[in-house]
Amino acid sequence: MVTSKLVHLYSLKRLFLFSVSLIFLINTNVFSKSVGFDQAVFRITGRVFFYSDILEMQKALDVLSCVKQPSFLSYYMNKKISELRNFEWSPEKLKNEKIVEKVSPYLILETLKLNLLSLGKDTINESELAKIGKKCTKLSWSTLSVDKKAFLLLEFFLRERFTNKKSLRFDLNKYRENLSKKEKHEYFEFKEFSFKGKE
């Protein structure tokens, strides 16, 4: 009787150790897939941005659907927001695309963010939201992610600064070029890797 109990306890112990080992292996595998294959994309003023950062920014771009068209931020980047939002970050696509061309809009955004931070503006009230789009007033500012807040701030900032519609594109391009020269930045070489794209 005692012997059978010991055998049973021993079996339970082996099952427990096996379960712990299995969980460890699964978690290690998930960790390597989610972190180990992430990759540095560009550096600006000392901060390094990864593909995972770009994915977060890409997801946040949907907040700009509330702004009046055309979006000044879209003009500033020389890219349609929908094009950026819908691009799939898969290894197959990255092989066939010019990587710098795909990540440069995000570097441009970060450069503009740095300039806005230097001005000290970090929030928008309801009347200011209405200036960039009536639909934007329905947003709850306190619940928005940092990136979404930043994009709305940037849209408002550009609309306030550039009011001449006739020279709008020219003025935005000139401003972007000047900021690009001002902030030190570099792109990192792309290496093939497994990466989880947009969900």
User: How is the chain classified by DSSP, letter by letter?
Assistant: -HHHHHHHHHHHHHHHHHHHHHHHHHHHHHHIIIIIT--EEEEETTEEEEHHHHHHHHHHGGGGGGSPSSPHHHHHHTS-HHHHHH----HHHHHHS-HHHHHHHHHHHHHHHHHHHHHT-----HHHHHHH-GGGGGS-GGGS-HHHHHHHHHHHHHHHH---STTHHHHHHHHHHHHHHHS-EEEPPP---------
- Region 84-101: mean pLDDT is 72
pLDDT, position 187? 80
Using CA of residue 10, residue 13, residue 17, residue 18, what is the dihedral sign?
positive
pLDDT at 134 over 60: yes
pLDDT, position 179? 86
With both helix axes pointing from N to C terminus, report the angle between 51-60 and 146-161 in degrees, rounded to the nearest 10.
Answer: 70
Q: How high is the mean pLDDT of the chain?
A: 77
- Region 87-113: mean pLDDT is 78
**pLDDT tier at 28, thresholds 50, 70, 90:** very low
pLDDT at 9 over 50: no
pLDDT, position 97? 58
- Region 19-41: mean pLDDT is 43
pLDDT at 11 over 50: no
pLDDT at 111 over 60: yes
pLDDT at 71 over 80: yes
Position 26: which residue type? I
Distance from C-alpha of 52 to C-alpha of 49, rounded to nearest angstrom:
8
**pLDDT tier at 13, thresholds 50, 70, 90:** very low
Residue 124 makes CB contacts below 8 A (sequence gap 6+) with 141, 152, 153, 156
Residue with more model confidence, 42 or 196: 42
The model's pLDDT over 138-170, given as tens digits with 9 standing for 90+, comes to 999 999 999 999 999 999 999 999 999 899 999
What are the sequence ranges of the domains in the chain?
A: 37-187
* CB atoms inside a 10 Å sphere around CB 122: 10
pLDDT, position 118? 81
